[in-house]
Chain A
């Protein structure tokens, strides 16, 4: 009885597939064309934070990881100004809290070259708090 039931279902699926073969091919093509399988796999294997870190980079291109690291390590209760030197938008917004003030004495510099840093920030006006590769967290000496 059970076998008969399974066979019946198999037969129904076969008929449905035969009748709608083009339709199912379009569905499959749509899924492939939009990279749905790969994208779903990426989402399944990497949570939101790790994807943000992966695509935003630790220090470059956008410095998402570095900014997250700074906020976590120093438990900051104010907003930071972020300057990106690699022709990328500033990612201040990702960690911005509208209920907190912006502290202009602290700056995060993303993707700054050593030359640029030495010229503009390596002086008495600024103090380095954190440095990873080409990213700096500096404080103005007030």
Chain B
């Protein structure tokens, strides 16, 4: 009974923690002309929190005390704006009640079978244990796969330490919570032509297409998925914004979102570069600002590399990037075999995670029926770069790709879908608009 109560109460704990510093009443003091929805603000707070946690993870602080300070501040903020929150909750009661139901359902799905899956127990859990049991960043050296980025595991241990029952899986709820916030933030962008019931049905369907419970058992895929979405969402807002201050401020958030990806998984290193290229080509910012963005991009990369060199003697991957296998790619027979295998498992991955089928449908619909992509070509740049990366990873590896691709490719495909989610909304809005016009 206590466990179930604990699960239910953690929805509110996560909610309160991620409700500050920005909320519906105060964000306009900093962002002048941007209109965020309620869930966007939680994601914005998430980026601030996650970056603070990232910095704290390098120092030997007791995470329980950090949690206490965090929860104290968040409750303070919550009480300060209580009236506004009550007003907002009353106005959006149906949507928020559905959020609580969905969140509880998924929390319970994670909790009933608390076992971790393969990578979860073999790699990521040790890092979470390291922080949970009071050790610091330097102690990661003694653990298996020590060169894997640690951000997800730190957050896992943080929320694990913060729950009263001290049960491990409570720490993994933050993936579920932020994932649902992502989906709700997405569907808050639906036009006003949609009824609340339609919105809720769509949220259910899309979230169902994105849910893979195995990935909540210690994997980091959802963290990347969420961060990709946040990048894409803020980038879109930035492109639509005409206020220079808003644009610049959002660019800072965008940079720090991609910085979090760098610390989430090994492939995050390449994602960080891809996101920079997307920003640099498509941001429509002035040259001076783009130059400044590049400088900070390099500084953050340098910080990452320096830390890795200091603790792990350099950036390590599962295998060295330059290896003998690369030469085999000059053999046309081997190359075509590899391309066939990669394409085959890419196709399988799209069906394994049907959100990709929805994305492809949306891309084609939006491409042929609207002019949305005229000013949003960055989606195609991203698609090109991300699929090139997938091919490069598997063409480069010295391992047998017929064995490796079925195990790993689908997860890469899943996490990269986060970036493309806004296209679904554009598709739905244009379908609704068309139906609305024709019926009129």
What is A's interface to B at a CB cutoff of 8 Å? 20, 22-23, 26-27, 29-31, 33-36, 39-40, 42-44, 47-48, 51-52, 55-56, 62, 64, 89-91, 93-94, 96-99
Contact = CB atoms under 8 A, between A and B. Distances in A.
The 5 closest A-B pairs by CB, nearest first: A34-B105, A39-B112, A36-B105, A93-B125, A39-B108
Nearest to B133: A98
Given A44-B4, A47-B3, A52 B105 contact: no
Contacts of B139: 98
20 contacts: A22-B197, A23-B200, A26-B197, A27-B97, A27-B101, A30-B101, A30-B105, A31-B105, A33-B204, A35-B109, A40-B112, A43-B4, A43-B108, A47-B3, A56-B115, A89-B121, A89-B122, A96-B126, A97-B133, A98-B135
A62 B125 contact: no
Given A26-B200, A55-B115, A93 B3 contact: no
Contacts of A51: 112-114
A40 B1 CA distance: 9
A64 B114 CA distance: 12
A29 B203 CA distance: 13
Given A36-B104, A36-B105, A98-B130, A48 B167 contact: yes
Interface residues on B, range: 35 or more
A99 B115 CA distance: 23
Contacts of A27: 97-98, 101
A94 B218 CA distance: 12
A98 B129 contact: yes
Contacts of A93: 116, 121-122, 125-126, 129
Given A36-B108, A39-B112, A40-B4, A26 B204 contact: yes
The dominant DSSP class at the A interface is helix
Contact of A96 (B104, B109, B113, B129): B129
A95 to B, nearest CB: 10
B145 to A, nearest CB: 12
Given A23-B200, A48-B167, A39 B109 contact: yes
Contacts of A96: 126, 129
B237 to A, nearest CB: 29
B111 interface: yes
B126 A40 contact: no
Interface of B: 1, 3-4, 7, 94, 97-98, 101-102, 104-106, 108-109, 111-118, 121-122, 125-126, 129-130, 133-135, 139, 142-143, 167, 196-197, 200-201, 204, 208
Contact of A52 (B102, B114, B117, B130): B114
Contact of A99 (B109, B112, B133, B200): B133
B114 A30 contact: no
Given A26-B200, A91-B121, A98 B105 contact: no
A75 B83 CA distance: 54
Nearest to B218: A93
Contacts of A39: 108-109, 111-112
Contacts of B129: 93, 96-98
A65 to B, nearest CB: 12
A34 B176 CA distance: 14
B234 to A, nearest CB: 29
Contacts of A47: 3
Given A31-B105, A36-B104, A98-B139, 15 more contacts: A22-B197, A23-B196, A30-B102, A34-B109, A36-B109, A39-B111, A40-B108, A43-B112, A44-B4, A51-B112, A56-B115, A93-B116, A97-B129, A98-B135, A99-B133
Nearest to B195: A22
B131 to A, nearest CB: 9
Contact of B1 (A42, A44, A64, A97): A44
Contacts of A29: 204
Contacts of B200: 23, 26
